[in-house]
Amino acid sequence: MAAQQITRVVSKFNTNELQTCKKGKTMDYPFVKVEIKERVALITIDRQESMNALNCEVLSSLDKAFASLGKEVRAVILTGAGKAFVAGADIKEFAEYTPQQAREFSLLGSRIAAAIENFRGPVIAAINGFALGGGCELALACDMRIASDKAKLGQPEVNLGVIPGFGGTQRLSRIVGMSQAKYLVLTGEIIKADKALTLRLVDEVVAPEKLLERCFEIAKLIASKAPIAVAYAKEAINYGAECDLSHALAYETEVFAQLYATYDQREGCKAFIEKREAKFENR
């Protein structure tokens, strides 16, 4: 199992990636904008007339946005334009779904969440306002969640006669614990950022005007590290969360050993010994 997992990570660093992102590049998709600068991609969901609600078009654009990121992108910040991160799924679109349509919509949303979760570098949710339903689920799929003190989060799907469908029932319990997850999902309560911080649903709470600045600060710090090591570390943590400790430790050992076949490991150690800044080359 560990060898298969390692092969999957290494394949992310081949030379046939979809697109190499250049410094200062901007890409636009319907309702989604991607800005790349200093090895950090800022992905903004911009459908402000509906509080950035998720429909099939927005989800498809997010899918394309993440797929388009080249290996020069070492960290991603995901946020929403205006007053919301994402206020949920577009109720007008899915209200009359058949069970088959609902299944397909859930699979689409789950695929985007998986793309976020499995992206080789860290994905930071900059939660600037409402993160409800599918929006909260996108944030849960991110590696870190930084919230404005004006943010509100929740899984209120039971008010509509449904449950979270993009992974919320599973990721939420892994982050805040089963009891708190049940409370939030079964009551549909919407909580403020300070309570979310207490529950460890978010990692930091900052003033609205400092939100993106703080997220970029974290992203750029991680982007300065050895990118293959960052990818392996993320993969090891994710893998370990899904299996027993003995398998997780065995996987960590294999990953640790594999990194000694990389240029960046040699460069990092040499730079430390020579008391200079390392120049990582992602190989």
Catalytic residue among 49, 96, 137, 217: 137
Asked if 137 is an active-site residue, the reply is yes
Could you give the C-alpha distances from 66 to 32, 163, 179, in angstroms and in order? 11, 26, 33
Could you give the C-alpha distances from 173 to 27, 170, 178, 203, in angstroms and in order? 35, 6, 5, 16
Note the residue count of the chain.
Answer: 283
Catalytic residue among 17, 157, 242, 254: 157
Q: Where are the beta strands (DSSP E) in 117-265?
A: 123-127, 130-132, 144-148, 152-154, 190-192, 204-206
d(CA 47, CA 69): 21
d(CA 4, CA 149): 42
Best CA proximity match to 175, nearest among 205, 146, 206, 196: 196
- Report residue 136 as tokens: 């909260």
**283 contacts: CB under 8 Å, gap ≥ 6:** 13, 228, 262, 263, 264
Asked if 49 is an active-site residue, the reply is no
Active site amino acids: 137, 157
